[in-house]
A and B are shown apart, each in its own frame.
Chain A
């Protein structure tokens, strides 16, 4: 089982990453791509993180996913730095023998990434920069996995 975790400023190639997860025993690859949502005058976001803890925390979340589902590979790429509206922020891709495990693990990883991985972002609108506040709905999304 391969787990690839990358925190980087550069963009990533979605097709290459999904291709890299393929293999003879794999029946499904599910992926999620998060983008900088424009609108409301949003020009760009700048993401910072806690180097060291970020990789550890994402590794721990990936380990938990591996315990819950039969997975063959996990790739998580999260970008940092300044990203303009429309740019990719995050990729979560999961390979498994069957689609249910791939879909569920992908959503689980994303829900936990949003509430546990130490990233913070500012938004730029009309020359003003403001910190993004955490949302309760993200906590609710992560908590539903505790009831299983």
Chain B
């Protein structure tokens, strides 16, 4: 899966994107977020408060319960502030 980060999420994790292998343990977006948080450091900070985190799978807004598949484009970002 290709995982993308935007705004302060990108700044905290220190990269804009990375490849994460899809495994049975990463069933949902929430599972992936928990795995990333467990890395600690900037990831731990970025994913500390999931109330401030939003996600998209294949460029569509989703909740943490969205199911992941190999090859998905998953994005993590703060609530949007356009306009």
A contacts, CB < 8 Å to B: 34, 47-50, 52-53, 56-57, 78, 89-90, 110, 113-121, 131-134, 138
Contacts and interface: CB of A to CB of B under 8 A. Distances in A.
B81 A134 contact: yes
Interface of A is mostly: mixed
A53 B56 CA distance: 9
6 shortest interchain CB distances as A-B pairs? A119-B82, A134-B79, A120-B7, A53-B59, A114-B83, A132-B81
Interface residues of B, number: 16
8 contacts: A50-B4, A50-B77, A78-B83, A90-B82, A118-B56, A118-B82, A120-B6, A131-B7
A120 B59 contact: no
Given A116-B61, A120-B6, A50 B56 contact: yes
A148 B76 CA distance: 31
